Amino acid sequence: MTRIRPFRPGDEPALSDICLLTADAGVDATGLLDDDDLWGEIFVLPYVARHPEFAFVVETDDGRVVGYVVGTPDSAAFEDWFAHEWWPRFQERWPRPEGDPLPVGASRQDGIVRYAYARHGGSQPFGDDYPAHLHIDLLPETQGQGLGRRLIETLEQALRDAGVPGLHLVAAAENTGAVAFYPRVGFEPLPSPEGTAVFAKRL
């Protein structure tokens, strides 16, 4: 049996592990980068640091955290905070890759680090209508049980209660499971940059 509960301090290592184990278009990304920690420090830990009230986890009867949803009600403000307060702490550990654009043969890690340096408020054209965004991940053992829908519904209610009018997310285009899932929970596709699939929903 599982239950959904609010995030609490101490969950961070489990969230980082789940992020890593699902980061490669929904499957295990262990060893794909030079430093596995990069996934969590970009895609989940900033959210629980900035907005713990919009973070929820799936917990098993034996106390394991096996899934999560995290979000921000204001993507522009969050991206500015990420750029000016969160990411500078890692610039010595993960310096900005040289070359613009990145040279042919650049590593996948270089591409992800470049993405982190490029984040800034107002960079998403759909942010005005759908200011909130989310990240959701579930370990394979929990998938297909309706937990993804329940996590999203839990976050959506928290965002509605906060007066947020719309929510969006960005998935990798090759993540076929995610691309098929989001329309089933009420999201509509938006025009998307190459290699991505953007979905949005009015709240």
The CATH number of whichever domain residue 55 belongs to comes to 3.40.630.30
Measured CA to CA, the distance from residue 51 to residue 45 in angstroms comes to 10
**Neighbouring C-alpha atoms within 13 Å toward the C-beta of 3:** 6
Q: What is the pLDDT of residue 155?
A: 98
Judge whether 173 lies within some domain: no
SS3 state of residue 70 = strand
Judge whether 196 lies within some domain: no
- Structure tokens that stand for 150 in this block: 């329940």
Judge whether 30 lies within some domain: yes
pLDDT along the chain (203 residues), means of 10: 96 98 93 97 98 98 96 96 97 91 84 93 81 95 90 98 96 88 94 89 97
Q: What is the pLDDT of residue 101?
A: 77
Judge whether 20 lies within some domain: yes
* 64: phi then psi, degrees, rounded to nearest 5: -80, 140
Domain containing 110: what range? 2-165
Q: What is the pLDDT of residue 190?
A: 92
Q: What is the pLDDT of residue 65?
A: 98
pTM of the model: 0.94
Q: Please, what sign has the CA dihedral across residues 47, 48, 50, 53?
A: positive
Domain count, the chain: 1
Judge whether 103 lies within some domain: yes
Q: What is the DSSP string of 104-157?
A: TT--HHHHHHHHHHH--TT--TTTTTS-EEEEEEE-GGGTTSSHHHHHHHHHHH
Q: What is the pLDDT of residue 166?
A: 97
